[in-house]
Amino acid sequence: GESVGLHLPTLSVQEGDNSIINCAYSNSASDYFIWYKQESGKGPQFIIDIRSNMDKRQGQRVTVLLNKTVKHLSLQIAATQPGDSAVYFCAENIDNYGQNFVFGPGTRLSVLP
Amino acid sequence: DGGITQSPKYLFRKEGQNVTLSCEQNLNHDAMYWYRQDPGQGLRLIYYSQIVNDFQKGDIAEGYSVSREKKESFPLTVTSAQKNPTAFYLCASSTLQGTGELFFGEGSRLTVL
């Protein structure tokens, strides 16, 4: 889940294991969701998106699952690599206008050798 | 390569001074945005613009000003009225149609001494 305040939740995984990062979104009317990856001192990078008419979408090594019943989004990373270490955050939107995105604070993924 | 360029990457300011952060995009996007990122919090919208010579306040516009004289450029001025300006500032852009995905710059870190 997400938290507010100065400290991000941290997920530590062994290199090669799968990672699951969770996000609880706030608006039941949201119909578009994005996962971003942000490395230290850099801007967020798009990973994968999903619309509310889907419950699963797969990319390269990543899968996003959407559970609208409980307003929950998850990002699964297969065979986690050191380069996956970053902060991951979700964004929700009720329409296609960028100013309406709501962002979670993120989860820090730490990949252990 | 198409993208968003923010400058400077690091900026130090004395209290009482205004500073301007630059944001330029060559993605031919109509909409541009400024976000503020603080540790442990989700991105918060400062200002956005959907068309040249027009812009709208976001959630935390107080103490900030913007201009949109060209489609490619959306500079942000952090004024002396902003009580807690030390933060990481992110510029983004998007189309007005389609997915509405936000493309981010690499960010500017402002520190007030």
Dig out the tokens for B99 from the structure: 């997915």
Provide the percentage of residues in chain B whose pLDDT is more than 70: 97
Say how far apart CA B8 and CA B49 lie, in whole Å: 21
Residue of B nearest to A88 (CA): B42
Question: A32 with A48: CB under 8 angstroms?
Answer: no
Contact between chains at A41 and B107 (C-beta distance less than 8 A): yes
| Interface touch A96/B99, C-beta < 8 Å | yes
Identity of the amino acid at B96: L
- For the cut 70, the answer to whether the pLDDT of residue A2 exceeds it is no
Return the residue of A nearest to B55 by Cα.
A99
Question: What average pLDDT does this structure show over A48-65?
Answer: 96
Quote the percentage of chain A above a pLDDT of 90.
Answer: 80
Residue-wise pLDDT tens digits, B49-74? 999 999 999 999 999 999 999 999 99
In this prediction, residue A3 carries a pLDDT of: 33
Q: Which residues contact B31 (CB under 8 A, 6 or more apart)?
A: A97, A98, A99, B48, B49, B50, B93, B94, B95, B96
The rounded distance, in Å, linking the Cα atoms of B89 and B66 is 13
pLDDT for position B98: 63
